[in-house]
Amino acid sequence: MKAAEVKKLRDDEIAAEAARLRKKLFELRAQTVTEKVKDHSQFRKNRKDLARVLTERSARRKKATK
């Protein structure tokens, strides 16, 4: 997910996307314990997507308080 795509999302969609990405990261970590992970690059991709979403959320909250 690109930063431009994240900026187009509404606030409730950003919260839902953050929850989805956190769940996906949890599932990937669980897979490393129970079974083999086929694509290890998914960890980095999901972490970066989550960071983009959380950065946009905090920027909007900061802008709203001004």
Q: Is 90 exceeded by the pLDDT of residue 13?
A: yes
- Residue-wise pLDDT for 21-64, tens only, equals 999 999 999 999 998 888 899 999 999 999 999 999 999 999 99
Q: Where are the domains of the chain?
A: 3-65
Question: Residue 40 carries which DSSP code?
Answer: T
pTM beyond cutoff 0.95 = no
Distance CA 17, CA 21 (A): 6
Structure tokens, 44 = 């980095």
H runs (alpha helix) in the chain: 3-8, 11-34, 41-65
Q: Which CATH number fits domain 3-65: 1.10.10, 1.10.3470, 1.10.287, 1.10.540?
A: 1.10.287
Average pLDDT, the chain: 94
Q: Are 25 and 48 in contact (CB under 8 A)?
A: no
Question: Residue 1 carries which DSSP code?
Answer: -
